[in-house]
Amino acid sequence: MIGFDYGTSNCAVGVMNNDQPTILSLGDHGRFTPSTLYSPSRDIISHWLYQRLPESAQADFKARRGLSLQRSQNIIRELKLDGISPELSFGQTALDNYLNDPEEGYYIKSPKSFLGASGLVEAQIHLFEDIVAAMMMNIKTHAEQALQKDITKAVIGRPINFQGLKGEESNRQAINVLTNAAKQIGFKDVEFQFEPVAAGFEYEASLSQETKVLVVDIGGGTTDCSMLLMGPEFRESTDRSAHLLSHSGVRIGGNDFDIQLALKGIMPSLGMNSYLKTGKPMPVNSYNQAVAINNVNLQTEFYSQANRRFLEQLKRDAAEPDIFERLLKVHDQKLSYCLVNGAEQAKIALTEAHEANIALDEIDHQLSVEVSRGLMLEASNSQLRQISQMMDSAVKQAGCQPDVIFVTGGTAKSPVLNDYLTAQMPGIPLVIGDHFGSVTVGLARWAKRIFT
C-alpha cells in the first residue's frame, strides 16, 4: 500500500516503514519525478500502455481503444523507418527530449491541470486517461522495483477543487480519469484524500497538544486551504471529518506564478507592450495564449493556422516587426514550454537571490532578460490576493482563528510568497513544511491507517 502524490509539478510515492513514512527513490528520477511525458507522437501513447498491461487487462483495453491502437501501428512503422524510437520518456528526460527539438514529438507537462477542463469530448478524455495511466505505470514500476513487491492499494492525493469551470462536475470528471487510469494499470483499491489534509498529517505528528492548524498547500495547479483540529489524540482516527473545520481552494498554483513571470518578464522582449504603426498598443491576447500551458483551449487557439495568419498580419502592422518576429518563432517552433520553463527556473533562483537571468537563445541568439523578486511580486499580485482571500474564507467558515499557519508545496519556498502570507495574518506563526514531501508522507500515513 502506498501514498501516491500524483502532483501537478511532481509525482512521488510514500510508504510506511516501522511506523515512519519514507519517500521512495524512483530509479533515476530520484524521490520526485517531474509530472511530464514526452512521446515521439501523441497517437502511440495508447500502444505503449497496451504493451505493458497484464494480459488479463489487454483484451478490455483493446476493445475500448481499438481505433487508437490501429492508428498507432502505422505511426510506429513510420517512426522506425525514420530511425526514431517509439518509446515514451518521463520526468526530466521528457523535458530534455522536448527541449532538444521542440518542433517534433508530443510533450505534456502537468496533465493534472487539464483533467477538470470543460468541453472535453470522449476522445480527449480517453487520451488523458492514457497519459495519466502511462505516467502512473512508470511510477508504479519504479516503486515496485524499490519495494521488491507488487503494489495493489493506493491513496491518491487530490485538491479541494481541480482546475475547471464547472465546480463539482469538473471534480467528478477529474476523479473519474484518475480512478480509471489507476485501476487500468493494476491498482485494485484506490482511495483519495485531500492534499492539504494529507500535508497536515505530517505536521500533526510533531504536535504535543490540540492545535488549530490552517494548512495552505500551494501545488503546481491549485492552492488548497484547510482548517484542521490536530493533536496527538486524533492521530489514529480513520474518520477526520469532524476535525476538518473548513476548507477552500482556488485554481491557482506554482504553474500560474511561472506563467505570470513569463508574461511580465519575458514577453516584453517579444513585442508585448510595443505599438503598432498606427500608434495603438500591440494586442496582448496572443501573448497570453502563448504562455497558457495549463489551458488546453488557449494553447490550441495560439497554435492554430488561423492565429498564424493573424500573427503575420500583426507583424506587418507592428512598429518593430523584428521584435514581433520572436513571437512568430514561438508559434512555429512550439516554444511555449521553453518560455515557461525559463520563468520557472528563474522563480526557483529567486528563492536564494534577489535577481535572476533567463536565457532565451531559443528565441534569439544571445537574448536574455533579468527578473527580480520585485517583478515577481508585481507579476503575481492577482494570484497572491486570491490565495489571501481563500485563507480568509477558510478562517471565516471555521469560525475561529488558527494557532499556526502551515504552508507546504514547491512555491512555499519563495520569500516573495512567505513575506506576503505573513503580512496577511500578522501575529500568527507561519511554519514552512517539507516543500515537496509533506503531502506524500501524509498520504502514506493515511494509506496505512485505512488499509490495515
**CA angle 319-286-354, nearest 5°?**
85
Task: List b or e across 25-64, with b for residues whose CB sees 16 or more CB atoms inside 10 angstroms.
Answer: ebeebebbbbbbbbbbbbbbbbbbbbebbeeeeeeebeee
pLDDT over 90 for what percent of the chain?
67
Q: Where exactly does CATH 3.30.420.40 map onto the chain?
A: 2-195
Which grid coordinates belong to 155? 491513496
pLDDT at 303: 93
pLDDT at 165: 67
In tens digits, the chain (452 residues) has pLDDT values of 999 999 988 999 999 998 899 999 999 999 999 999 999 999 999 999 999 998 888 999 999 998 889 999 999 999 999 889 999 999 999 989 988 888 789 999 889 988 988 888 888 999 999 999 999 999 999 999 999 999 999 999 998 888 766 778 889 999 999 999 999 999 999 999 988 889 888 888 889 999 999 999 888 888 888 899 999 988 888 888 888 899 888 888 888 999 999 999 999 999 999 999 999 999 999 999 999 988 878 888 999 999 999 999 999 999 999 999 999 999 999 999 999 999 999 999 999 999 999 999 999 989 999 999 999 999 999 999 999 999 999 999 999 999 999 998 878 888 999 899 889 889 999 888 766 788 999 999 999 999 98
pLDDT at 359: 95
Note the pTM of the prediction, 2 decimals.
0.79
Q: What is the pLDDT of residues 36-91, one digit of tens each?
A: 999 999 999 999 999 999 888 899 999 999 888 999 999 999 999 988 999 999 99
How is domain 2-195 classified at the architecture level of CATH? 2-Layer Sandwich (3.30)
pLDDT at 236: 81
Short-list 435, 443, 404, CA closest to 421: 404
Q: Please check whether residue 410 is in contact with residue 440, taking contact to mean a CB–CB distance below 8 angstroms.
A: no
Q: What is the pLDDT of residues 287-302, one digit of tens each?
A: 999 999 888 788 889 9
pLDDT at 36: 94
Q: What are phi and psi of 228, to 5 degrees?
A: -120, 140
